Structure 1
Amino acid sequence: MAESIPMTVVDLSSGWSFKQADQVDESSWLPVKKVPSTVHQDLIDNDLLQDPFIGFNEIKAEWVGLKSWIYRTKIANPPAPDGARVVLAFDGLDTFAHVRLDGLTILKSDNMFLPYRVDVTGAIKSGTDHDLEIEFDSAFLKAREIKNQYPEHKFVCFNGDPARLAVRKAQYHWGWDWGPALMCAGIWKPVRLEIYSWRIADVRIDINISADQTVATIHTTANIEGAESDSDHSSVLARFDVSIGEKIIATNVAQCESNGWAASQLRVSNPERWMPNGYGQQPLYNVRVTITVDGIDLHTETRRVGLRKVELVQEPDSHGKSFYFRVNGVDIFCGGSCWIPADSFLTNITPEKYRAWIELMVPANQKMIRVWGGGIYEHDAFYNACDELGILVWQDFMFGCGNYPCFPSILRSIQAEAVANVRRIRHHPCLAIFAGNNEDYQVAESAHLTYDYEDKNEQHWLQSDFPARYIYESLLPKVCAAEAPSVAYHPGSPWGDGKISSDPTVGDLHQWNVWHGTQEKYQIFDSLGGRFNSEFGMEAFPHLDTIRWFVEKEEDLFPQSHVLDFHNKADGHERRIATYLVENVRTATKLETYIHLTQLIQCEALMFGYRGWRRQWGNERQCGGALVWQLNDCWPVTSWSIVDYFLRRKPAYYAMARALAPVAVGIRRAHHDWSVTHAREPRTQDWELWVVSSRLTEITADVEVRFVSVRTGLEIKDSIVKKGVWVRANGTTNVLEGCVDNIREEPHVLAARIWVGGELVGRDTDWPQPLKYLPFPGRKVKVEVVGNEMHVSAERPVKCLVFEEREGCHLSDSAIDVVPNDKQVIRVRGLAAGSPALRWTYLGAGEQ
């Protein structure tokens, strides 16, 4: 019997070169800085492609996705003694890859989301160096080819070429209504050699917390694989331990069974529980499995876990059926964002950049991020950051906006893809839910495909014109039940018990009748919501510095320039932006002012949504959460993002933070649709003031509302102060109501403030709508810099005062409304000593 050796890993990230497949000259080979990589970036690095993010270069890059590409490297003969196994491990190949070792085919792949392992033990031991070559076919052309093989299937979709549905590749590479069409290819995840006698092939961790939450039981199972098929597992011991920090708190040793499995149950007394951002700390425990033979450690795998229980609560109530999350017995209002891939070229996103993106969510009081189904199962660094920072993850499977086919080979690939990715991410405490797809049920409704929820015959589903129902209601839920039974599964987003996807009484809802659809007034956003609003949004331009980065000519720096329109992929964006601007504000032609106005509209729209839906949380959990479309961008663009490609926060980011604060006050007058009444004012408008709190104990607060003239800045009547207001724990408390007399009272701002324990913790304002009817000259704003603070005051009410977003600089607040006699203090972090003061503007600043 050969001596067992510890696992050895040979990194294959360097020494690669690449070329276009139809170029035969040896001089065509070009250097690759490092893999993982993508062919576009490698071409840019070799000065053969202009950056597709600048100007119209996206069009000049289209040819790349129509070609085949070959990557090659040499592998030195590895130190593999007799009895050891040598495996080539590919964590991700994008997408149609033909892998050859020394000229012989060892793998043909067709799924970007699948890891592959190839046993090369026999081949790799001969000679000294070995040639590894990977040829990537054009996914665009292969998709067309596969689509044509299935003429009976209805290839219908929103966004991109319908052929994309036939390929297991990031769907946004075909272009989306916020992203460019850049058909990437390449070694997009690490590749390595593994040499071992024994290895841990998989680790599964199931956590149970006792009802009184005093004991956590960590059940860990390891799948152990030997180098040879007839390996004697009885010689292998598995050591399990649990630690927090440097302290090991539980350990156990188990014999490996003949079937290759070893298991252990470890108990943790008085567990430190993992809680979402704003509800507690995020302690992380390390669960480590080490396998040994004859006292020698051969391989170790570690998983970081959090001790928590996440539940999706769906129960009948007076509004229909609830949909909200409960963590460790605490109901959580999941205010947060949707996430798309942070770059068109995925290998450009570093772990540090992932961390920077998720860090933005913490001061914004966000609790959840939704990984959208047209991108990728994200990098480990993404989930690690969410674990560390307390951000819950809603994880879509990678199906987006289409009627996906279900021919046998693609179903087998999807099954393997689901198993591999669920196993990879299931241990993360941030993971709250799996959802089967993004908007595929909406596509079925739009295309009038067959969907009879009462028909439970799976063969009928596969034979129908909507066969993907089988994926979402059979294949994926079975995978999740087998591999991650503690994580909730939801067939799609949006979806609600088989009802139409726009039903507001059940499941989750994508509310696009603001911006898309009927283009409702954003002032009524909250009345358009459902039980959980997992998508909604409003577009806004990125910051001027971002625009200057991709606009090459100074003459193109105006709002409707050709290049600016090119960097907005939303259908009908010109009319939709114009509609919301003309309805609400006085329009402008100067680019800087136009940017501010679009950002103000986004800011106001999201405020009306978040403020109202969070209020509904306290009304029998009527609304369980709201996830804005979208947090981020994959390139510099005008889109629905609240933070642009360069991590520059738009004003809406700050409006969300205020609406989601631990304790927030809200005030608004009843909506009046001025368009329907031809701008005739109502004689009176009722107003309401309420307080929302996510604190888990009752508090008392002092609340004030002032009535401040827009024109003069004077108070038109006595303020109302209510002291010692009892505020419900984790809910909503209605505090005051009144009436605006539009005949006798001049246009005025309702300015609310709230104090808890003598500390001012929140503000809110309600302005007469629409803002375009209000005069804004002569605001007399004063911004005084005091150390690392800016003290802001004004003699007349100010709407949406926005500070410059300078690189490396972080603001405690921005996009603020300011009323007289209420100085606001903005803390500034990261502004270099001696730097000029931050620029700022506000609605109507250009009128002075």
Structure 2
Amino acid sequence: MTDPFAAVRSPLDQNWQFSQVSSQYWPDVKESWNPCKVPTSVHVELKKLGKIPDPFKDLNEWEVQWIQEGDWVFKTTFDVEESRLKRKNVDLLFEGLDTYCTNGKSVTTTENMFLSHRVPVKDTIKAKGNELELRFASPWHEARLAEENNGGPMPLWMAASNRLYSRKAQYGWGWDWGPIMMTVGPWKDIYVESYDVRLGNVRIDTTLSGSQYDVASLKAQFEVHGFMKDEFTLGVTLKTAEGDVIKTVTDHKSSSGLEWKLKSGEVEGWYPRGYGDQALYSFDIELKDQKGAVVDALTKRVAFRSAKVVQEPLDGQDGTSFVFEVNGIRVFCGGSNWIPADSFLTEIEPGRFRRWVELLARGNQNMLRVWGGGVYEAEELYDACDEYGILVWQDFMFGCGLYPSYPQLNESIKSEAEQAVIRLRDHPSVVIFAGNNEDYQVAESLGFMDYNDNSGDYMNSKFPARHIYEVLLPEVVDRLSTIFYHRSSPYGGKDTRDPTVGDIHQWNVWHGTQEPWTNWDKLAGRFISEFGMQGYPNLRTVNEWSDDKSQLFPQSRVSVNHNKADGFERRLELYLMENFRHAFDMPSYVYYTQVMQAECLAAAYRLWRRNFKGRGKEYTSGALVWQINDCWPCVSWAIADYYLRPKPAFFAIARELKPYTVGIARKDIKKMKDKKTSAFFEIHQEIQLWGCNSTLKDIDVIVQLETFNLANGKGEKQSLNAKLASNASTEIWAGQVPGQSIRTNDAQTPEPIVVQARLYDPANLDTVVSRYSNWPEPWKYLTFPNPNLKVKVNGDQVELSCDKPIKGIVLDVEGDECEWSDQAVDLFPGDTQIVEAKGLKGREVITRYLGDGTA
């Protein structure tokens, strides 16, 4: 039975209104009170009222900068049932206040957006006419004052220096992919909760052990808060997702921990996507008084898995591995970085996080890094990762700067970290906490990082935040969870750029030395947690950023404002000019930057996955592209835009992360006649062929290797048998490009030979498991023959075939969009491909490809 006086929680989401109010920086404000929803932010409500233009359109970002420098008040009135006021405790719960907030009656004061607050109000609350007023001070000025009063500006990359003194989502200060939108307001739910006694934090630690990882254990610790005159008991039940009871206890003492050993077969393990199923269970807890009445209850979702990061010596190479091992399986992590999905977090509608995770799963990805300049994300994101088997790399919220470290700030950060770890530790998907994003790189760039100083006394050094990352955060993570802690991303080795230890951010394509992407194999590391290439979004998204069609060309003020990366025009053109002959109208620029991005990123995954060669030879164990998503409609490194429209790069990466893949690398090898000459030599064009298998079983395959000379139509075929080792890459064949002549001087140009490899399962020779077409680069030198592309539409299917090879087919349709199964397709004669197009409904398909005459 349930006690009629069980804990009751109700939202305060009615009767809210807001206004700007006078402040010392803005003393003559005329208040204007308007109704609003909660949770919300000022920008969102002003836009709804028509008082500001859409900040995402045109140059309107700069029309709304005044909002961050004003003070704002949100207020409401509410009643509480008399019966609830008779309870021993009545609390106000604030799940998130953004950011500098006080209450007129001193209910709460906060300076940290990431904190939730529980405030006892038993002595002040009444049945009728309660007033709640939340005054939000200007985040800009409050952060500026904190900076002035605590040491002054600190070095940083990105945005204004005062952001380092503010526990507020850092991206709101503006980033190289996002606008300056410093939000203000109650950004999470507010509740009234009444109770005599309630369940508090419940810590649940689960493990799998044994040679088959089939022996499960569960440990739980409980907290009970409130009126504790008598001993309370707990009813605890572990159930399957279908509701079947696995184990239960009805009278466990609330003051005691619980430990269960489960027999082999009682529960199933949780595995990353592609390596097994994602078994999830419910852990139901009832808090009961001496009469057996239930006074509070909650359900936690749990899973059973063992996860660690293996850092051990490697065969034949310097340094150590950095490989994630789950239930004894070492996983190649192919995935993405995540930024906040909107500049206005309260506008992320239910289901949108799940749609992003579903997109990751469609793209064969198995890891998501939640980047340290945003927020600890909504439960929906982590729940979806649990369900889809997407491993989560979770940063703490520090990015690209030398943060201050002083007692008041550290106390807030400690509370923030504790709340974050307690909330996220039950998710089986969360396998690592990292202290920050790139802060050690900033310190290194200034000569402030002394790796020989292991004193632990850093607060008065030139890099004071080492106290946060090396003392404060690891203590919290170790005390409150069993999750691996990593000081920073990147971190390891002699410095953060050491490719032999830890993780690296590989930005020498695009940033840094601006290497050609053909050098990805030389730019490898043990784990590449960031790398990327920009590409324009879908043309429909481009059209969203202005109603003035005269602004929809690549060099317009509006288009430039929708790309926040320094030097982006030079960098885009560098990579375009090196590789393509391209036109400059907007549709062409969208196409060429998208195909460039797709080719660049696919090459990285292809070459780095090749380095995952089996146990003891995990020379590269992960690649996380920057980035999966955008926070507004823009040009960025994202592989899917703000509206969840995948770019061609998304599909190119998906092909490289299939369970079975085939890859080719082509190199020109110059062999001098002897050591004395510079004029006499031979140039041989060679290829190397390999396959990857992420399944846990070896597989016999047949590889069809085929060539086509674009100049004369000649080609050769050969069939190769190979055994692909489980969970590793396997070298298959190496030799000269079939049909390629040996050159004896640099005036002789190589034959334009396309090489295609198709991977077949011997049990099903009619099905291509994987394919890859290797084209001679750069493509700007090629003369593309008329391929005679044939497009056959049947309902929601598109059949593509050709007489001569085609590079980079992108499909589109007029009117309502389709959900395509593939894009940026390379087509080869005799190898018909089928593209699914959900929503096509037999309509005509528009195609574009290299050399189609539109350049």
TM-score, reference length from structure 1: 0.94
1:393 matched residue in structure 2: 392
- Deviation of 1:351 (Å): 3.0
Alpha-carbon distance in 2 for matches of 1:427, 1:88: 25
- Deviation of 1:76 (Å): 0.4
Give matches, 1:4-403, under 5 Å: 5-22=5-22, 28-32=32-36, 34-78=37-81, 79-100=83-104, 104-125=105-126, 128-151=128-151, 155-212=154-211, 213-226=213-226, 228=227, 231-234=228-231, 236-244=232-240, 245-256=242-253, 262-265=257-260, 267=262, 269-270=264-265, 271-293=267-289, 294-317=291-314, 318-319=316-317, 320-403=319-402
Residues 386-441 of structure 1, C-alpha deviation per residue, up to 9 Å, x if partnerless?
A: 01111000000000001000011000000000000100111001111000000000
- Deviation of 1:490 (Å): 0.4
User: 462, 484, 497: which one pairs with 1:502?
Assistant: 497
2:609 matched residue in structure 1: 614
3-state DSSP of counterpart to 2:459: helix
Alpha-carbon distance in 1 for matches of 2:176, 2:562: 10
84 and 463 in structure 1: CA distance in 2 versus 1, 3 angstrom threshold: same
**Does the 8 A contact of 2:785 with 2:804 survive in 1?**
no
Alpha-carbon RMSD? 2.0
Alpha-carbon distance in 2 for matches of 1:31, 1:256: 48
468 and 363 in structure 1: CA distance in 2 versus 1, 3 angstrom threshold: same
**Does the 8 A contact of 1:399 with 1:437 survive in 2?**
yes
- Deviation of 1:83 (Å): 4.5
Alpha-carbon distance in 2 for matches of 1:408, 1:624: 39
The amino acid across from 2:39 in the alignment is: P
2:555 matched residue in structure 1: 560
**Does the 8 A contact of 1:67 with 1:137 survive in 2?**
yes
1:821 matched residue in structure 2: 830
The amino acid across from 1:719 in the alignment is: K
**Does the 8 A contact of 2:214 with 2:268 survive in 1?**
no
1:843 matched residue in structure 2: 850
2:634 matched residue in structure 1: 637
3-state DSSP of counterpart to 1:706: strand
Alpha-carbon distance in 1 for matches of 2:785, 2:413: 60
3-state DSSP of counterpart to 2:330: strand
**Does the 8 A contact of 1:58 with 1:181 survive in 2?**
yes
Q: Which stretch of structure 1 is more off in the superposition, 410-419 or 775-784?
A: 775-784
Alpha-carbon distance in 2 for matches of 1:157, 1:588: 38
The amino acid across from 1:838 in the alignment is: V
3-state DSSP of counterpart to 2:359: helix
Alpha-carbon distance in 1 for matches of 2:230, 2:471: 35
Alpha-carbon distance in 1 for matches of 2:353, 2:817: 16
Residues 65-97 of structure 1, C-alpha deviation per residue, up to 9 Å, x if partnerless?
A: 111110001120343253420000001000000
User: 797, 806, 811: which one pairs with 2:820?
Assistant: 811
1:517 matched residue in structure 2: 512
Matched positions, count: 819
Alpha-carbon distance in 2 for matches of 1:282, 1:111: 35
Give matches, 1:419-498, under 5 Å: 419-449=418-448, 451-459=449-457, 461-485=458-482, 487-497=483-493
**Does the 8 A contact of 1:342 with 1:349 survive in 2?**
yes
The amino acid across from 1:746 in the alignment is: E
3-state DSSP of counterpart to 1:28: coil
The amino acid across from 2:824 in the alignment is: A
Unpaired segments of 5 or more residues in structure 2? 671-679, 744-749
Alpha-carbon distance in 2 for matches of 1:681, 1:569: 47
Give matches, 1:609-688, under 5 Å: 609-618=604-613, 620-670=617-667, 683-688=683-688
Alpha-carbon distance in 2 for matches of 1:350, 1:549: 19
Q: Which stretch of structure 1 is more off in the superposition, 279-288 or 14-23?
A: 14-23
Alpha-carbon distance in 2 for matches of 1:57, 1:165: 26
Residues 587-607 of structure 1, C-alpha deviation per residue, up to 9 Å, x if partnerless?
A: 212211111110111111101
User: 753, 757, 766: which one pairs with 2:758?
Assistant: 753
- Deviation of 1:522 (Å): 0.7
3-state DSSP of counterpart to 2:108: strand
TM-score, reference length from structure 2: 0.93
Alpha-carbon distance in 1 for matches of 2:711, 2:230: 83
Alpha-carbon distance in 1 for matches of 2:656, 2:682: 28
**Does the 8 A contact of 1:654 with 1:815 survive in 2?**
yes
- Deviation of 1:363 (Å): 1.9
- Deviation of 1:64 (Å): 0.9
- Deviation of 1:154 (Å): 5.4
Q: Sequence identity, in percent?
A: 41
The amino acid across from 2:733 in the alignment is: L
Give matches, 1:539-558, under 5 Å: 539-558=534-553
394 and 672 in structure 1: CA distance in 2 versus 1, 3 angstrom threshold: farther
3-state DSSP of counterpart to 1:133: strand
3-state DSSP of counterpart to 1:424: helix
The amino acid across from 1:345 in the alignment is: F
3-state DSSP of counterpart to 1:158: coil
3-state DSSP of counterpart to 1:122: coil
**Does the 8 A contact of 2:787 with 2:806 survive in 1?**
yes
Alpha-carbon distance in 1 for matches of 2:179, 2:596: 25
Alpha-carbon distance in 1 for matches of 2:417, 2:527: 25
2:691 matched residue in structure 1: 691
Alpha-carbon distance in 2 for matches of 1:559, 1:464: 46
The amino acid across from 1:528 in the alignment is: L
- Deviation of 1:837 (Å): 2.7
Alpha-carbon distance in 2 for matches of 1:43, 1:269: 58
Alpha-carbon distance in 2 for matches of 1:167, 1:567: 26
Unpaired segments of 5 or more residues in structure 1? 674-679
**Does the 8 A contact of 2:235 with 2:249 survive in 1?**
yes
Alpha-carbon distance in 2 for matches of 1:846, 1:571: 32
